[in-house]
Amino acid sequence: MEKLYSKDPKNKQINMNPKKETIDFLLSYSKALSVINCNKLKFEALLN
């Protein structure tokens, strides 16, 4: 385990930029998601 934590994370550069398809998917999902509150229950519905 000590070998995993002893590496310097600054040396590695990881590409963390999302693809355009991922962003489009998340935006369309969030637009279609509807949360309905009924008493103390929450219902999630996808409006497609």
Does the global pTM surpass 0.75?
Answer: no
State the sign of the Cα–Cα–Cα–Cα dihedral 8, 11, 15, 17: positive
| Total count of domains within the chain | 1
20 contacts 26 by C-beta, under 8 angstroms: no
User: To the nearest whole number, what is the mean pLDDT of the chain?
Assistant: 82
Note whether residue 34 is domain-resident: yes
Note whether residue 8 is domain-resident: no
For residue 35, pLDDT over 80 is answered with yes
Q: Which domain holds residue 44?
A: 20-48
pLDDT (average), residues 8-33: 84
The pLDDT assigned to 26 comes to 92
Largest CA distance in the chain: 52
